[in-house]
Amino acid sequence: MTETTPAPVGLAARFGLSAEDLRPNARHAKSLRDSGRAEEALRIFATLVLAAPEDVGFQLGLADSALATGRPEVALQAAAAAIAFDPKNPVAFLASGLACLAMDEPALAREDLADALRLSEAAPASAEAHKAAGRIAARLLAGLAGSADG
């Protein structure tokens, strides 16, 4: 495997499947989440993470769905896994920052949001998701700077 593609470690690999084989399920889960069916999306993303935990997209889908269903602790765990597998991904740090905010941990959120912003600035212009994560992180950091939470 390459440096950016970790060896498969989940259940999918045991059955000769790759994360790519599971991608249609992730698209379906995202569609469910976007249509307000976040609980269903959460279950699908949780299953996908069991099948292919090394897939950052699955981890981030789980994090987003967990936040949408009021489970910031699950979101934080999924974001942490995404960061472990792709430590230069600003979207993963944004997800972690959002989870920290949802858990009322502004100091931790600031750290992750600052990392998201820093990493997004280093991303190529073609990496729109990374650039968007940086813009969101910058807005959240500005809001936190104006708050009096210490």
pLDDT in tens, 111-121: 999 999 999 99
* Calpha distance 113→130 (Å, rounded): 12
- pLDDT, tens digit, 9 for 90 and up, residues 79-106: 999 999 999 999 999 999 999 999 999 9
Contact 104, 73 (CB under 8 A): no
Q: pLDDT-based confidence at 21, cuts 50/70/90?
A: confident
Q: Token pair of 57, please? A: 């997209």
Domains and CATH numbers, the chain: 16-145 (1.25.40.10)
Share above pLDDT 90 across residues of the chain, in percent, rounded to a whole number: 75
Residue 139 has pLDDT above 70, yes or no: yes
Q: What is the distance in angstroms between the CA of the first residue and the CA of the last residue of the chain?
A: 44
Query: Which tokens sit at 36?
Result: 């307000």
Instruction: Please determine, for residue 37, whether its predicted confidence score (pLDDT) is greater than 60.
Output: yes
